[in-house]
Amino acid sequence: MLKRVFIIIFIIFISVLNANSDSNNTKKQKEYQLIIEGVKHLDKDDIAKALGVKESSILKFWDDKKIIKEQFLKNLKETLKSYLENKGYFDAKIEIIKNGDIVKVIINEGEPVRIKDIKIDSNFKIKDLITFKIGDIFEADKFVEIKDKIINRLLENGYCKYKLKTKAYIDLKKHSAKLLYKLDKDGVCHFGEIKIVKHPKDISKDVIYSRIKFRKGDRFDIRAINESYSSLNQLNTFANIQIKYNFDNNRSVDTNVSLDKREKLKRYLLAIGYDSVIGMRFKGLWERRNFLGNAKKLTIYTEIAKNNKKIQSSLFAPAFLSFYGYYADFYISTGYEKERIDAYKLKRFFVNGYFDYNYKNWDFQLGLSLENLQIHLYDNLPYVIGGTFNLLYPYFHITYDGRDSKLDPKNGIYLSWYNEYGLASGVDGVQYYKYILEARYIKSFGDLTLSAVGKVGAIHEISGTLPASKLFYGGGVYSNRAYGKKDIGIVTSNKSFKKLGGKSLLNFQLEANYKLYKKLYGAIFFDSTMISEQEYNFKGKRIDTIGIGLRYKTPIGPIKIDLGFNIHNRKDHAISIMLGQSF
C-alpha cells in the first residue's frame, strides 16, 4: 500500500515539474504576498485570480497564501474596480496598503445592483438559458455569456439569420437593473459550397473532405464546424487550420477551408515508470506523420515490463476508400508480445487490419485478425487446453457516442456492440462467436455527476477449444476496481474466483462525483462483476466492490485515483490511477 501511495505522489510530482518547466526558464520577477480583507459576499480566490495571482501547485492545494507579481501592482486598483463593477458592486470602496513584501487590499463592497425586472420576447426557446432571476445581483460577464449561449443555440439549430436585442438598463441610484431579451429568428440555413482553397500538395482533397463533418445541403450546425476542426487536428499533420463561413448568401452558408502542413512530423516517446504490481516498465514510441503523403501515419511501439513484453508496428491511412463522398479509413498493425498472468504464460504473434467509417455520432469498424498463440497453463484444467492455437477471425465493432465530450463528458449516452467470429483452421484452430455489448450513461446536476456502465459478454464455442487468452476476465479501472487488470477469472463466490476466465460476463459500474474544491472532485463508486464458465449463464456469483476516489481536472481529462474494496473481503483492495474518463 505504501509503495502505491509513493508512486501516486511521484507521478503527480513529475507532472507538476513538467508543467512548470517553462515558467522556471523565464526571468524571475519580484513577488508579493496579497492579503484580501473586508469582502462579505464575493470569493477571495476569484478576486485574487482576476488580479493576476498565480495558482498554487496541486502539491500545495492546502496552502491559501496568495502570491502576486510586481507587474500586476501598477494597475491593481483599476483592475479591482473593473472586476467589482462587473460583479454588480458599483459603489465599492477600495484601499490598498503596501508594506514591504505584503500588499493588503481592503474592500467595502457596498450595496450591489440587483435585477428588478426581466422581459423576454422571443419566437425561439431561450428561457432556460436566461439564468438570471428577480433579486439576483447583476453580473456583466454573466449577461454577455447568456447572449453568447443564445447565439450558439441558434447556430446549432440552423438559424444563421436572426434579430437579437439584449439590453441591461442600470439605475445606479436605485441599485437596480432591468433586462430585455428580444429575439426574432428567421428561416433555417443550410450548408452551401465547401471549397478547399489551400492545402499541402502531397495531401489529397479526399483526405481533407473525409474530416469535414458536414455536406452541402445539410442543415447548418455550428457544432459540425467545431467537430471538423477537431477531426482535422487529430491527423496531427496540419497547421493553421481555418474553416471560414459566411452568412451573406441568403440562407446558404458557404465554407472555405485553408490548411498548412506542420513543420515537425516526427514524434518520439521514451518513458520509464514503476508500479507495485508489475514493477519497472519501459515504453518507447517512434511516429512518422504524413508518411509517404496523404496524412498516413507510421508508428513503432515497444513496451517492456516484468510480466509483459511487446513490440508493434502500425500504419494508418485516412480516406483509404471513397464512394460518392463517403470515406473509410484503413488501419493495419502487426507485432509480437509475451505476457504472464496468474493462470498462464502467453506468446502471441498477430496481424490485424480493419476499415473504419465515421458518420456523425456513429463509428463502424470491419476487420480481420490473425493470431498465432502459444499458451502454457500453470494448472491442467479439463475444459481449457494450452499449447499452440492459430486463430483467424473477422469482426465488426459499432459505437454510438452521444456524450457532450470525449475527454470529460458531463451528460449523454455511449453504446458499443462488438462481434467476433472465429474461423477454424486445422487441428489447432477454433470456431466460435464472441459478443460484447456495452452501455454508458452520464448525467450532471450542477457540481454532481452520476455515471453508470453496464457490460455483457458471451462466447459460444462451435468446434475446438478456445484459448485462455480469449476468455473473459475482470478487474481494473474499466471493470472492478478492487482488483488489478485480468485478476478476476470465473467467480465462485462473493469472496473467491478462479485464475482462468469464463465464457459469460456481466459487469456494472456506478459512480457519483462531486466538486470539493475548484478542480478537485471526490467520488464514491460501486462495481460488480460476474464471470461464469458456462455459455450464456448470467445468474452466477458476483464480486461486489465499493470505493472512494479523487479526480483532478486537467485540459486533457481528469486524473483519477481510486481505492476499491471487496465488500465481503476487505483484504482484497487496490489503488488504480488513470488519465481520462472511463465513462
Tell me the domains of the chain and their CATH numbers. Answer: 31-108 (3.10.20.310), 114-185 (3.10.20.310), 341-579 (2.40.160.50)
Tell me the pLDDT band of 21, cut-offs 50, 70 and 90.
very low
What span, in angstroms and rounded, lies between the C-alpha atoms of 379 and 393? 27
List b or e across 100-139, with b for residues whose CB sees 16 or more CB atoms inside 10 angstroms.
eeebebebebeebbebbebeeebeeebeeebebeeebbbb
Over residues 200-230, the pLDDT tens digits come to 999 999 999 999 999 999 999 999 999 999 9
- Average confidence (pLDDT) over 8-25: 45
- Quick check: 390 pLDDT over 70? yes
- Quick check: 248 pLDDT over 80? no
- Find residue 372's DSSP bridge partners: 349, 390
Q: Could you say which DSSP state residue 128 is in?
A: G
Over residues 260-269, the pLDDT tens digits come to 999 999 999 9
- Average confidence (pLDDT) over 42-64: 72
Tell me the pLDDT band of 406, cut-offs 50, 70 and 90.
confident
- Quick check: 16 pLDDT over 50? no
What is the predicted pLDDT for the residue at 97?
Answer: 92
Residue 261 has which C-alpha cell? 502542413
- Quick check: 425 pLDDT over 90? no
The answer to whether the CB of 357 falls within 8 A of the CB of 373 is no
Angle at the Cα of 432 (from 428 to 434), degrees rounded to 5? 130
What is the predicted pLDDT for the residue at 54?
Answer: 73
- Quick check: 10 pLDDT over 50? no
- Average confidence (pLDDT) over 75-89: 93
Minimum mean pLDDT range among 10-24, 356-370, 568-582: 10-24
CA dihedral defined by 469, 473, 477, 482, rounded to 10 degrees?
-130
Over residues 109-135, the pLDDT tens digits come to 999 999 999 999 999 999 999 999 999
- On average, the pLDDT of the chain sits at 89
What is the predicted pLDDT for the residue at 522?
Answer: 96
The answer to whether the CB of 529 falls within 8 A of the CB of 542 is yes
- Quick check: 164 pLDDT over 90? yes
- Quick check: 233 pLDDT over 90? yes
Over residues 265-290, the pLDDT tens digits come to 999 999 887 655 566 889 999 999 99
What is the predicted pLDDT for the residue at 278?
Answer: 63
- Quick check: 340 pLDDT over 90? no
What is the predicted pLDDT for the residue at 52?
Answer: 86
Cβ-based neighbours of 140, under 8 Å, separated by 6 or more: 85, 86, 88, 168
What span, in angstroms and rounded, lies between the C-alpha atoms of 395 and 131? 48
Tell me the pLDDT band of 515, cut-offs 50, 70 and 90.
very high
What span, in angstroms and rounded, lies between the C-alpha atoms of 497 and 380? 17
**Amino acid type, 206:** D
- Quick check: 63 pLDDT over 80? no
- Average confidence (pLDDT) over 40-69: 76
Beta strand residue intervals within 360-466, DSSP E? 362-377, 387-401, 412-422, 431-445, 448-463
